């Protein structure tokens, strides 16, 4: 009988965290053994009486895999002859370009410096398969950070001039998400909002957004979802206040100010999917000290990206996340607009027009509708700011999001 249970050491860089056993058939954590360094257990994974909650750790582990909703995943797995995205996890030792956790076979001594994707080259075979390019052959390598990339959009990691960069596609008839990412960068640059910078590239006439990894070998991203698992949420506390409370208890600086800026951007762009896995905080992976809020990233699901042109500008069917289910309610959470200079957005519609110029997917009618709608959002935000002068932010449980947004089909993107 073939042994299906393999023993690994969950590592945090070169620090052993815990012994775990993985079932090679289900790719899940079947057992947790000795705990070596409790302080380095991933944020949000509960420990009771010196033991890690196996179910929570397994959810964390399985959540590192490519989500089933990823465009082109089924074809890629068939091409790679892999049964499921979870099976890909141990093929790359669980290594990611978002944090410093990985698994080391218990019978083998391996150093983080020898395998991590920040300092070492990696295969693009998985990424190419996800992009629909044939990779069949003898030399296929599954040692890739694409095995642990989240989100439903087609994407892959690549190395450009020594920098780790994420290439991300659009979706549907308009392929609008890459344009939205770049526009969000332009808006945030004008408003002075810390952000991940995106540029546009074209491949075979299709648009893709490109951004450099904002995580380094010494830092890591912890998403809001896991920060909010660090303590129970009382029923009478709103989702927004619970996140603030968890961040305060963790000692994460500057969170309220960063949320103000993120919510303003999402209001301007009518972002529909700012779920709890595409914002968060950054900490030092060596000292475990919190650095602060992560720069704003992943703003592609905005500006009526999946709506027909006739619906662009309509707010009736556009919902919001992560705190309130409507943008008009969510903007009330902003604690201060003192930092906001809306005059800096003068002519932003013309930047959008220039950005989509020549697109095979966004025609003149849609471009005009988007530009008009964007100007309308600036005007609407101006009215909000003027009406809010000398008033306190409003937050109760009215219109709070209720679904488990961290696992609603799209996980963290960049």
Q: What is the pTM of this model?
A: 0.92
Closest CA to 161 of 94, 210, 116: 210
Half-sphere exposure of 201 (CA within 13 A, CB side): 11
pLDDT at 398 over 80: no
Q: Phi and psi (nearest 5°) for 16? A: -70, 130
pLDDT at 137 over 80: no
Closest CA to 89 of 36, 161, 147: 147
User: How confident is the model at residue 78, as a pLDDT?
Assistant: 87
Q: Report the chain's mean pLDDT, rounded to a whole number.
A: 92
Segment 397-408 mean pLDDT? 61
Cβ-based neighbour number of residue 378 at 10 Å: 15
User: How confident is the model at residue 409, as a pLDDT?
Assistant: 42
Q: Is 303 exposed, middle or buried (0-12, 13-18, 19+ CB in 10 A)?
A: buried
- Cα 356 → chain centroid: 24
Band of the pLDDT at 310, cuts 50, 70, 90? very high
Percent of the chain with pLDDT over 70: 95
Band of the pLDDT at 216, cuts 50, 70, 90? very high
Task: Kindly report, residue by residue over 167-182, the tens digit of the pLDDT.
Answer: 999 999 999 999 999 9
User: How confident is the model at residue 391, as a pLDDT?
Assistant: 65
pLDDT at 161 over 70: yes
Band of the pLDDT at 84, cuts 50, 70, 90? confident
User: How confident is the model at residue 411, as a pLDDT?
Assistant: 46
Closest CA to 152 of 326, 300, 359: 300
Task: Kindly report, residue by residue over 23-75, the tens digit of the pLDDT.
Answer: 988 889 999 999 999 999 999 999 998 999 999 999 999 999 998 888 888 88
């Amino acid at each position: 009988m073939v042994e299906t249970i393999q023993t690994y050491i969950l590592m945090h860089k070169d620090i052993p965290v815990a012994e775990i056993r993985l079932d090679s058939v289900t790719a899940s954590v079947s057992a947790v053994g000795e705990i070596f360094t409790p302080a380095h257990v991933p944020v949000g994974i509960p420990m009771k009486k010196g033991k890690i909650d196996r179910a929570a750790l397994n959810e964390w582990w399985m959540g590192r895999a490519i989500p089933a909703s990823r465009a082109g995943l089924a074809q890629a797995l068939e091409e790679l002859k892999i049964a499921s995205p979870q099976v890909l996890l141990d093929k790359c030792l669980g290594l990611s370009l978002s944090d410093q956790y990985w698994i080391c076979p218990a019978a083998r001594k391996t150093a983080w410096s020898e395998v991590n994707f920040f300092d070492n080259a990696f295969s693009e075979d998985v990424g190419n398969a996800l992009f629909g390019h044939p990779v069949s052959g003898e030399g296929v390598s599954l040692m890739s950070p694409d095995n642990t990339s989240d989100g439903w959009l087609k994407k892959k990691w690549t190395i450009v001039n020594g920098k780790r960069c994420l290439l991300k596609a659009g979706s549907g008839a308009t392929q609008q998400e890459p344009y939205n990412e770049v526009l969000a960068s332009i808006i945030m640059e004008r408003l002075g909002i810390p952000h991940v910078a995106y540029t546009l590239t074209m491949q075979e006439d299709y648009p893709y957004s490109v951004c450099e990894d904002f995580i380094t070998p010494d830092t890591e991203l912890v998403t809001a979802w896991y920060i909010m698992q660090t303590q129970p949420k009382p029923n009478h506390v709103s989702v927004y206040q619970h996140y603030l409370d968890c961040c305060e208890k963790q000692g994460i600086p500057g969170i309220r100010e960063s949320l103000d800026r993120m919510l303003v951007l999402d209001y301007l762009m009518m972002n529909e999917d700012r779920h709890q896995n595409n914002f968060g905080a950054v900490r030092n992976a060596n000292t475990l000290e919190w650095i602060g809020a992560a720069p704003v990233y992943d703003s592609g699901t905005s500006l009526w990206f999946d709506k027909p042109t006739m619906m662009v500008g309509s707010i009736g069917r556009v919902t919001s996340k992560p705190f309130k289910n409507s943008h008009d309610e969510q903007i009330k959470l902003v604690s201060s607009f003192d930092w906001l200079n809306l005059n800096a957005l003068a002519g932003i519609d013309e930047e959008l027009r220039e950005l989509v110029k020549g697109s095979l997917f966004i025609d003149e009618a849609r471009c005009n509708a988007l530009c008009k709608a964007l100007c309308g959002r600036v005007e609407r935000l101006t009215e909000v700011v003027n009406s809010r002068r000398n008033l306190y932010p409003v937050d109760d449980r009215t219109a709070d999001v209720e679904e488990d947004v961290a696992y609603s089909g799209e996980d963290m993107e960049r």
